[in-house]
Amino acid sequence: MRDFLPEDKARRERVLAVIRDRYRAHGFDEIETPVMEEYSRLHAGIGGDNEKLAYNVLKRGLDADAIAAAAGDPSQLTDLGLRYDLTVPLARFYATHRGQLPSVFRSIQIAPVWRAERPQKGRYRQFVQCDIDIIGDASSRAEAELIVATLDTLDALGLAGGSVRINDRRVLDWMLDSFGFDAAERPGVLITIDKLDKIGPAGVAAELRERGAAAQSVDAFESFLTRPMTMEYHPFGERQIRKLLPDAAPTDIVDHLVGIGEAVAASRPGIDGQPTEVPLVFDPFLVRGMGYYTGTIFELAHPSVDYSLGGGGRYDGMIGRFLGQDVPAAGFSIGFERIVDLVAAAQDDAPQAVVLVHDRDIPAGELLAHKAALVGGGARVRLETRTKNLKALLERAAADGYTAFATVSTGIPAGEVDLKPLA
């Protein structure tokens, strides 16, 4: 968990303002949910490893006997917990307020979440997530809308050139079945496949054998991984998807993926009649570990970094746990903490940022009159008492984003100070 100095906080707010603006431009509406949810919801077996990282809140009024009687069972000691993501709270929110929401609900959630991570670079125990979700639309249009809005937001942040790796959890299940992996061993197999980018096909095959996976299945999978076309980059489309998958891939799943690609392509008209390459890459080995994904999954990539900048997918079964009937849902989350570090620092949006340097004996009324006149004109204004080292004072102001200064003497009419640029 971190503190943020004014300059860092200002940059974060600028980035958040752009994200909110682009999300709203695409028809999403912002909601807010409590930072705590019921323990039973956060530990319903749908949050994957994140459930193990949840901060749980002890029940009020517990005594030593009650704690001893729990015998280390957290569910007996806690009834609430800090949210570890924004998707579980959204599912509960929709189940609670469904009657007041449109049949297809497009939501924005931008808020902190908490996970008991081990301290290490890039892993924070409190961090901001920026989510957009579409609830009530089972068609490929939902995923396409999420992808288009996310890529537009990345462009608006000055990070053009982003792309989305896309897969489907049903493709993974079908592929593992086609190679003969038993259902009981698939969770471990998926964990290993998720390391493909780091350890390569040979490393994946070796680790699967170490895990005790069926030898015949591992041999078939290794042969598939080492095909020339398997690990090559391919533009997104039906022919490429079928080329990358083993024979007889499920037609309905492929059609859903193709529909996403066609919709995204239609949103990006070419120049002078030339088609624009769709910023999608089919990756049959994309896993994403959240237990609630039921269909399409995707991750946001950018050529400037070798890690993902966000991800999401379809989670049609989650809301039904709270509502009693399944409702189609899909979401995309931008990794705000990663993106904010990539966005170049910019000056404040105000036309001017002014420091008014004054002696100690200037009446407060005169100072505030000068300040009010400049603020009324759209400037950002800071009052600073003159020091012996004026140069150091002005250098600090410039570092804080101020662009001009003026020295204030008594008797000057409000707003008529002589502004000078800060070098």
Q: How does pLDDT run across 241-257, given as a tens digit for each residue?
A: 777 777 667 788 888 99
Kindly tell me if the per-residue pLDDT of 31 is higher than 50.
Answer: yes
Same domain, 237 and 170: yes
Rounded Cα–Cα distance for residues 188 and 210 (Å)? 11
Distances in Å between the Cα of 248 and the Cα atoms of 16, 166, 171, 236, 397 are 45, 19, 11, 19, 66
Same domain, 266 and 415: no
Pair 175, 181: CB distance under 8 Å? no
What pLDDT score does 350 carry?
Answer: 47
Domain carrying residue 409: 353-421
Kindly tell me if the per-residue pLDDT of 34 is higher than 60.
Answer: yes
Contacts of 349 (CB under 8 A, 6+ apart): 14
Same domain, 249 and 227: yes
What pLDDT score does 347 carry?
Answer: 46
Q: Is residue 179 part of a domain?
A: yes
Q: Is 326 helix (H, G, I), strand (E, B) or coil?
A: coil
Same domain, 246 and 321: yes
Maximum pairwise Cα distance, the chain: 91
- Number of folded domains that form the chain: 2
Distances in Å between the Cα of 269 and the Cα atoms of 26, 151, 263, 266, 373 are 17, 15, 11, 6, 47
Rounded Cα–Cα distance for residues 297 and 286 (Å)? 8
Same domain, 268 and 379: no
What pLDDT score does 27 carry?
Answer: 94
Same domain, 218 and 137: yes
Averaged over 186-203, what is the pLDDT? Answer: 85
Q: Is residue 302 part of a domain?
A: yes
Same domain, 241 and 159: yes
Same domain, 266 and 408: no
Kindly tell me if the per-residue pLDDT of 108 is higher than 90.
Answer: yes
Dihedral, CA of residue 124, residue 126, residue 127 and residue 128, to nearest 10: 170
Question: Which CATH number goes with the domain that contains 139?
Answer: 3.30.930.10
- Which of the pair, 174 or 247, is modelled with greater confidence? 174
Tokens 């705000």 identify what position?
336
Contacts of 409 (CB under 8 A, 6+ apart): 359, 362
Same domain, 144 and 228: yes
**Both structure tokens of 388:** 């012996």
pTM of structure: 0.83
